[in-house]
Amino acid sequence: MTRPSALFIVFEGGDGAGKSTQVHLLADALRAAEYAVTVTRQPGGTALGRSIRDLVLHGDHVSARAEALLFAADKAHHVDQLIRPALQAGEMVICDRYTDSSVAYQGAGRALGADEVQSLQMWAVADLVPDLTVIVDISPAEGRRRRGDTHDRLEAEEDAFHAAIRAHFLAMAAAYPQRYLVVDGMAPAEHIHEAVCARLGTLGVHLT
């Protein structure tokens, strides 16, 4: 298999799952293998995204549909301004959260309907689907324990909300196994990283 230059890799999971650690381990491994890498996150990877992030995560109450539209606006701008250009320039793009977060949090968590939110998200990102989505899976109780006393507006929701989100991520992975990898968020970070590297090997990206 020829070595791919540009892949779009996303990490998803509940709050406190340890995604950010994995994002950085993978970025370091790809750079060590001399890939050009862009690391970004949603919401918040652009100036507009950071404003939206403040509104939805740290502001007052936001109506459920308005919340879904704000997350979609962040993605539309982010994909157009940052993710697609980086992929077109031949870079690896690693994104902390993407459309599945919205389908899980707004669609399943807020009960807006997964299908409707999925359509809204796909319109926003003009159908850009990741090459690989890694779900870092932890239970709502473990997520709450790891977050301790600091919660943003969404993290402060009760365990049933987080259980619905987890169920949605796992259902997506079960439906599209060729595009998803589920890793146990309770495993040591190095083990999770090795599982991610092994999976990228099947896509022609060989990391040590």
- Helices 159-175 and 140-147: angle between axes, nearest 10 degrees: 120
User: Which residues pair with residue 13 across a beta bridge?
Assistant: 136
Which C-beta is closer to ligand TYD: that of 155 or that of 194?
155
Whole-Å CA distances, 50 to 9, 73, 76, 153, 186 = 21, 12, 14, 16, 30
Site membership for ligand TYD, residue 133 (CB under 6 A): no
Site membership for ligand TYD, residue 12 (CB under 6 A): no
Q: How far is the CB of 61 from ligand TYD (least distance, A)?
A: 14
Measured at the CA of 159, the angle between CA 155 and CA 164, to 5 degrees, comes to 95
Among 155, 163, 170, 194, binds ligand TYD (CB under 6 A): 155
Distance CA 69, CA 192 (A): 33
Number of residues that bind ligand TYD (CB under 6 A): 17
Site membership for ligand TYD, residue 11 (CB under 6 A): no
Distance CA 27, CA 37 (A): 7
Footprint (CB under 6 A) of ligand TYD, residues 174-203? none
Site membership for ligand TYD, residue 101 (CB under 6 A): yes
Which C-beta is closer to ligand TYD: that of 22 or that of 106?
106
User: Which residues pair with residue 96 across a beta bridge?
Assistant: 11, 41
Which C-beta is closer to ligand TYD: that of 35 or that of 107?
107
Which C-beta is closer to ligand TYD: that of 115 or that of 152?
152
Footprint (CB under 6 A) of ligand TYD, residues 14-43? 15, 19-20, 41-43
Distance CA 105, CA 114 (A): 9
Among the listed residues 183, 191, 77, the one whose alpha carbon sits nearest the alpha carbon of residue 137: 183
Which stretches of the chain bind ligand TYD, using CB under 6 A?
15, 19-20, 41-43, 57, 71, 96-97, 101-102, 105-106, 152, 154-155
